[in-house]
């Protein structure tokens, strides 16, 4: 669980990224680092496509994972911002996701980050729809040192799914993550 490790600096960076998303309807993100005391600190803020290279960003101690925003409010007009989900007509079906739910690709990337031991694999999402809430998904699996990417393993499957850009998390990947919905308002951090 990461909610108890969020520092005031990280909380402020979450808010800043979400506010920037609300103002200019762009995605913002940053790396989440651990310090020597296991507290979480933010890396530098990036905008848009630059955020896709976040995995190469280094932390001085250890990398927990990544955060980025979803600029949904501009897509939902004239629906009120308070509505917390978005439904999209795909090629063959209609699917709905929460504004702070990571995409399947987000989860596949987070899982491969954990499998390769580059980070703990946490992916946190914020949105301009729910400006005081973030959702953090952390892999709950133990990755073996040898055979992590053997055929049939979750790591192997996630690696094959990285190209899945659109859509909600697939049913096979959701159980591999623990989910925390964290209030980043000025009230004390709490789980919803």
Domains in the chain (CATH in brackets) are: 3-180 (3.40.140.10)
Question: For 85-93, what is the mean pLDDT?
Answer: 49
User: Which pLDDT band, with edges at 50, 70 and 90, does 55 fall under?
Assistant: low
Q: Which of 112-116, 162-166, 172-176 has the lowest mean pLDDT?
A: 162-166
Question: For 172-177, what is the mean pLDDT?
Answer: 94
> pLDDT of 117-148, one tens digit each?
889 999 999 998 888 999 999 999 998 888 88
Residues 180, 2: Cα–Cα separation, whole Å? 8
CA-based angle 103:126:37, to the nearest 5? Answer: 105
- Cβ–Cβ under 8 Å, residues 40 and 33: yes
DSSP state of 131: T
User: What's the chain's average pLDDT?
Assistant: 82
> pLDDT of 11-36, one tens digit each?
999 999 999 999 988 899 999 999 99
> Does residue 191 carry a pLDDT above 90?
no
Those residues with Cβ within 8 angstroms of residue 45's Cβ, 6 or more apart along the chain or in another chain:
13, 16, 17, 20, 28, 29, 30
> Does residue 84 carry a pLDDT above 50?
no
Best-predicted range by mean pLDDT among 107-111, 146-150, 186-190?
107-111
Quick one: the chain helix, strand, coil %, rounded to 5? 25, 30, 45
Closest CA to 9 of 46, 42, 38: 42
User: Which pLDDT band, with edges at 50, 70 and 90, does 40 fall under?
Assistant: very high
pLDDT of residue 112: 92
Residue 11, token pair as written in the block: 């909380």
Question: For 167-172, what is the mean pLDDT?
Answer: 86
Closest CA to 163 of 95, 102, 89, 106: 106
Residue 134, token pair as written in the block: 């973030």
- Cβ–Cβ under 8 Å, residues 49 and 81: no
pLDDT of residue 78: 47
């Amino acid at each position: 669980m990461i909610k108890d490790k969020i520092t005031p600096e990280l909380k402020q960076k979450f808010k800043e990224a979400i506010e920037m998303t609300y103002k200019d309807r762009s995605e913002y993100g940053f790396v989440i680092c651990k310090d020597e005391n296991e507290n979480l600190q933010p890396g530098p803020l990036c905008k848009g496509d630059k955020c896709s290279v976040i995995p190469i960003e280094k932390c001085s101690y250890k990398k927990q994972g990544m955060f980025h925003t979803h600029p949904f409010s501009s897509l939902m007009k004239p629906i009120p911002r308070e509505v917390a989900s978005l439904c999209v007509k795909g090629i063959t079906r209609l699917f709905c996701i929460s504004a702070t739910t990571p995409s399947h690709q987000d989860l596949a990337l987070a899982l491969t980050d954990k499998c390769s031991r580059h980070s703990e694999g946490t992916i946190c999402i914020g949105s301009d729809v729910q400006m005081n809430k973030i959702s953090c998904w952390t892999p709950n699996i133990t990755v073996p040192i040898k055979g992590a990417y053997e055929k049939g393993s979750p790591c192997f499957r996630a690696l094959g799914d990285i190209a899945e850009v659109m859509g909600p998390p697939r049913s096979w990947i959701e159980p591999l993550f623990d989910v925390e919905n964290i209030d980043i308002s000025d009230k004390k951090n709490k789980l919803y």
